[in-house]
């Protein structure tokens, strides 16, 4: 069995404080053994780290970093949902990565790999997941990336 908490420590990752919703919705919902995490944008230290369009205002390396920040915000919410016991997560089922990009940006998979690679580093075999990587015309608060996700919860 993987120890997610130990993986975070070994990687030197300190989770941020869970972000508050930017509108009227729950940051996560637990239904049976599934946790649905609402869209997370790249909030870091109380501000949005990357705003604007990928391919114009934001370069691909910054977009990859934004997707990693979104994932860390997701993990902070999962930590809250599991009462500080991320080891209760049995698998990452799916992530959806939305990229605020120009019409001629076609590297969505590279941006999404930022989050996917981090999930796999932290969760190891529990981190295998399905994924969508989609460009869109805009995102809340002009964020460059947003990620929502689904995780399986054990006892």
Residue extents of the structural domains in the chain: 4-153
Q: What is the DSSP string of 17-79?
A: PPPPPSSSS-SEEEETTEEEEEEE--EETTEES-BS-BTTTB-HHHHHHHHHHHHHHHHHHHH
What's the pLDDT tens digit per position in 115-127? 999 999 999 999 9
pLDDT score of 14:
95
4-153 maps to CATH 1.10.3720.10: no
Average pLDDT over residues 124-132: 95
Question: At a CB cut-off of 8 Å and minimum separation 6, what does 15 contact?
Answer: 8, 72, 75, 76, 79
Amino acid 45: pLDDT: 95
Tens digit of pLDDT for each residue in 26-83? 999 999 999 999 999 999 999 999 999 999 999 999 999 999 999 999 999 999 999 9
Residue 14, token pair as written in the block: 């300190």
Check whether 137 has a pLDDT greater than 60: yes
Residue 143 pLDDT level (bands cut at 50, 70, 90): very high
């Amino acid at each position: 069995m993987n120890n997610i908490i130990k993986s975070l420590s070994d990687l030197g990752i300190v989770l941020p404080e869970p972000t508050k919703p930017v509108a009227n919705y729950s940051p996560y919902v637990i239904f049976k053994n599934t946790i649905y995490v609402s869209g997370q944008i790249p909030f870091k230290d109380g501000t949005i780290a990357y705003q604007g369009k990928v391919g114009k205002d934001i370069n691909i390396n910054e977009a990859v970093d934004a997707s990693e920040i979104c994932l860390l915000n997701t993990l902070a919410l999962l930590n809250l949902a599991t009462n500080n016991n991320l080891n209760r997560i049995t698998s990452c089922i799916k992530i959806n990565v939305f990229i605020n990009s120009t019409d001629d940006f076609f590297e969505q998979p590279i941006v999404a790999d930022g989050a996917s690679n981090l999930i796999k580093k932290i969760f190891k075999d529990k981190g295998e997941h399905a994924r969508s990587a989609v460009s869109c015309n805009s995102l809340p608060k002009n964020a460059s990336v947003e990620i929502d996700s689904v995780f399986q919860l054990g006892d």
